[in-house]
Amino acid sequence: MNKTKHKIAVVTGAGGTLCSEMARDLARQGYKVALLGRSIDKLKVVEDEINAAGGEAISISADVSGEASVRAANELVMKTWGPVTVLINGAGGNQNDALTNTVEFDERELEGDPAVKGFFNLNMQTFQSVIDINTMGTVIPCYVFGREMARNKHGNIINFASMTSYRPITKVAAYAMAKGGIVNFTQWLAAYLAPANIRVNAIAPGFFLNDRSRKIMFHEDGSQTERAVNIMRQTPIKRFGDAHELLGCMNWLIDDKNAGFVTGITIPVDGGFLSSPGV
């Protein structure tokens, strides 16, 4: 507790399955945790859990892809506790209108057939919004909270990459494009901020279940969809990940003693997905 009592963490996307678990774990270690996200109701659930367990947390409604919104969040954190020392950039996600329902070009998409949603009849505004939340929604918090870290010559940033950072997984072009950029940006920012004693790394989760993905991976009767079957075929451990299985990676990366020479890397936590070529 003495080691961490002056440490302050910001977790974006903290109302979600993965980042809420990260936030709770940081609080258990004595971090004061600012929970950022669009849905204040979801954040409040996590905040109440942390505070009831003896930790300290505040919920801040913020659009991480908007600079003014993130600046306002930083001002509140600074006023409440002081400068941030750990930033977890977990906000992101996808939208159904940015997904195709086919894995290759189909002539019917040019004819406006409602049964075929291909690349050529996607909504480009939605496509752009997915890129914004997953790219600028990482860049802007780094820009705002990282400024205070640089001023204090200390900090740790963890970005969220994805399996799509390595492979352009079918149907999710916008999301894959954005997450591919996160790996590159993490490397760039790590080199840039090294003189300020700030380490920047990323975690690339494999396939973890949340409320949205359960609808994609399972039928109403509990059986796996074709997409889930394909994922399991590519995942040697043969199951989906659990949120707590990201904590060891997070805690290692923010540990200046054990990972002080580690910056600019992206670590897959994927059950072996990237190791399996599928043949």
- CA torsion 202-208-211-216 (nearest 10°) is 120
Q: In a 3-state reduction of DSSP, which class is residue 115?
A: coil
Query: Which one of 31, 166, 175, 192 is the catalytic residue?
Result: 175
Cβ-Cβ contacts under 8 Å for 119 (sequence gap 6 or more): 100, 105, 109, 173
Quick check: 131 and 178 in contact, CB under 8 A? yes
Q: What is the Cα–Cα distance from 236 to 276, expressed in whole angstroms?
A: 7
**Cα dihedral value 239, 29, 250, 64, nearest 10:** 100
The answer to whether 166 is a known catalytic residue is no
Edge-to-edge, what's the strand order for the sheet holding 198-205? 56-61, 32-37, 8-12, 86-89, 155-160, 198-205, 266-269
Instruction: Write the CB contacts of 155 (distance below 8 Å, at least 6 apart in sequence).
Output: 84, 85, 86, 87, 146, 148, 149, 193, 196, 197, 198, 199
Residues marked active site are found at 175
